[in-house]
C-alpha cells in the first residue's frame, strides 16, 4: 500500500508582535550582550581564532596545507605568541575560501565585524519567525541560549541556522531542489546534518534529496581540487587525531545522546556508540516517514545533533527552527511543551556546569525526549489543522 506524505497542517493562530514581545526580546538581548562582553576576550583566542587563521591560510594561497597542524599553530602564535595548544581549523577547504575576506581585516576588527554579522543574521531569523509564527516565536528565539553562546564565542552557528531556515522556506514553497542545495551549504560543519538526507528520503522528498546530494558532491569536488591528495590526507588525519586536545576540549559537555556515555561511563564505547546512533537513525526514519514538512525537517535536524559524537550547546543553534516549528504545528501539547522547554536558558546552561550528579546530560535528555515525542506524533492520525 502506498502512503502519501501528510499535508502541512495550518499553524496555530500566532499572536501579532506587540511592544511586550519586543520588550522581552530586548531584555534578553541585553542580557546576552552582557554575557558576551564577559567572555569575548577568551573566545577570540579559541573559537574565532581558528576561523580567522583558516581565512588567513586560504588568503595566503596555502590551501594545500590548510590542515597542517604545525602551520595552523604557527599562524595562531603570530597573533597570540603565548598559545601552546592548537585550536584547529577543521572546516573543509571550500569554507576557508568563503572566509578568506576576513583575513583582509586586522584580527580585532575582523572579530567585531564577524560578531555584528552573526547578530544581524540572527535578528533577521527572529523577524522571519515573528512574521511567520507570531510573537511567541520572537520570544522563544530571544531566549534561546545556543545562538547567544555561539555568537559570544565567535562561532559560525548562525550561518548554519540561516541555511536551514532558508532551506525550509524554499521547501515550503515546493522549491525542493533549491531547498536541498541550500541545506547542503551547512555542510561546512558536515557532522551536524548527517541524518537530514535520511529524513528527506523517509518523507519522500526525492527532489530535495537530489539537490542536497548534488550540492554536497560539488562542495566535495571543489574541496578536493583545492586540497590535492596531500591536503585531503592531512584533513583526514586531523579529523581522526585523538591527541588533538583542541578538537574535543570538554566531552562531558556535549549535548548529543553520547553525553550519557561520557557522563556515566567516562568514555565512548564503540558498540554503545553504534547502538545509540542506530537507535537515533531509526527514530528519525519513523518520525519522518511520509511526514508533513515541519515534522520531518525538525526530526532530521534533531536526529543529526543527537547522533553526532562531537556537538556542543552552540551547535544546537540550528535547532531553533525546530523549536519554532514544533511549538507551532505539533498536534499534541506534549510535543509543543517539550520543544518550548528548550528555549529558556536553563536546559542548555547546565551543560556548562561541572557536576558530580551528571546533570550535564540534561540537554541530551531533553533532545531525546523531543525526538521520542516526534515519533509519537507519527503514530497519530493526520488532522487538517494543529490541535
The pLDDT tens digits for 316-325 are 999 999 999 9
Neighbours of 377 (CB within 10 A): 23
The DSSP H or E segment spanning 237 is helix 206-239
Check residue 387 and give its pLDDT.
33
Q: Using one digit for the tens of pLDDT, what is the confidence trace for 257-274?
A: 998 998 888 888 899 999
Q: How far is CA 191 from CA 51, 282, 312, 315, 325, in A?
A: 17, 18, 12, 10, 22
Check residue 323 and give its pLDDT.
98
Q: How far is CA 334 from CA 8, 63, 330, in A?
A: 19, 49, 9
pTM of the prediction? 0.92
Overall average pLDDT of the 358-378 stretch: 92
Look at the alpha carbons of 23, 25, 31, 34 in this order and tell me if their dihedral is positive or negative: negative
Check residue 385 and give its pLDDT.
39
pLDDT band at 43 (very low <50, low <70, confident <90, very high): confident
Asked if residue 2 has pLDDT above 60, the reply is no
Question: How far apart are the C-alpha atoms of 276 and 281, rounded to whole Å?
Answer: 9
Residue ranges per domain, the chain? 19-378
Overall average pLDDT of the 99-124 stretch: 96
pLDDT band at 40 (very low <50, low <70, confident <90, very high): confident
Check residue 384 and give its pLDDT.
44
Asked if residue 94 has pLDDT above 70, the reply is yes
Q: What is the mean pLDDT of the chain?
A: 90
**CB 301 within 8 Å of CB 196:** yes
Overall average pLDDT of the 165-181 stretch: 97
Grid cell, residue 193, equals: 546534518
Grid cell, residue 345, equals: 536558558
Spatial CA neighbour of 50 closest among 70, 78, 68, 73: 73
Amino acid at each position: 500500500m502506498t502512503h502519501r506524505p501528510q499535508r502541512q497542517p495550518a499553524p496555530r493562530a500566532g499572536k501579532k508582535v506587540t511592544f511586550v514581545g519586543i520588550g522581552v526580546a530586548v531584555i534578553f538581548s541585553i542580557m546576552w550582550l552582557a554575557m558576551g562582553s564577559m567572555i569575548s576576550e577568551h573566545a577570540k583566542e579559541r573559537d574565532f581564532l581558528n576561523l580567522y587563521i583558516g581565512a588567513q591560510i586560504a588568503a595566503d594561497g596555502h590551501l594545500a596545507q590548510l590542515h597542517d597542524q604545525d602551520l595552523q599553530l604557527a599562524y595562531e602564535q603570530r597573533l597570540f605568541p603565548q598559545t601552546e595548544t592548537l585550536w584547529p581549523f577543521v572546516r573543509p577547504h571550500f569554507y576557508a575560501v568563503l572566509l578568506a575576506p576576513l583575513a583582509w581585516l586586522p584580527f580585532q576588527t575582523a572579530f567585531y565585524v564577524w560578531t555584528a554579522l552573526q547578530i544581524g543574521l540572527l535578528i533577521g531569523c527572529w523577524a522571519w519567525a515573528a512574521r511567520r509564527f507570531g510573537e511567541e516565536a520572537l520570544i522563544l528565539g530571544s531566549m534561546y541560549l545556543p545562538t547567544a553562546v555561539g555568537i559570544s564565542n565567535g562561532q559560525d552557528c548562525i550561518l548554519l541556522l540561516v541555511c536551514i531556515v532558508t532551506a525550509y522556506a524554499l521547501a515550503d514553497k515546493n522549491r525542493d531542489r533549491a531547498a536541498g542545495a541550500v541545506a547542503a551549504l551547512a555542510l561546512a560543519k558536515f557532522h551536524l546534518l548527517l541524518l537530514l538526507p535520511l529524513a528527506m528520503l523517509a518523507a519522500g522528498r526525492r527532489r530535495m534529496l537530489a539537490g542536497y546530494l548534488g550540492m554536497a558532491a560539488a562542495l566535495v569536488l571543489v574541496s578536493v581540487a583545492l586540497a590535492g591528495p596531500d591536503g585531503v590526507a592531512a584533513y583526514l588525519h586531523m579529523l581522526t587525531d585523538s591527541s588533538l586536545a583542541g578538537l574535543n576540549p570538554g566531552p562531558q559537555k556535549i549535548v548529543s545522546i553520547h553525553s550519557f556515555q561520557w557522563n556515566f561511563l567516562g568514555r565512548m564505547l564503540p558498540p554503545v556508540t553504534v547502538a545509540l546512533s542506530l537507535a537515533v537513525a531509526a527514530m528519525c526514519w519513523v518520525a519522518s516517514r511520509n511526514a508533513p514538512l515541519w515534522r520531518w525537517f525538525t526530526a532530521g535536524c534533531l536526529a543529526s545533533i543527537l547522533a553526532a559524537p562531537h556537538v556542543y550547546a552552540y551547535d544546537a543553534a540550528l535547532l531553533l527552527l525546530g523549536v519554532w516549528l514544533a511549538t507551532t504545528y505539533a498536534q499534541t501539547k506534549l510535543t509543543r511543551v517539550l520543544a518550548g522547554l528548550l528555549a529558556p536558558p536553563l536546559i542548555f546552561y547546565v551543560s556548562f556546569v561541572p557536576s558530580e550528579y551528571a546533570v550535564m546530560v540534561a540537554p541530551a535528555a531533553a533532545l531525546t525526549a523531543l525526538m521520542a515525542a516526534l515519533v509519537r506524533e507519527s503514530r497519530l492520525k493526520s488532522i487538517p489543522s494543529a490541535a
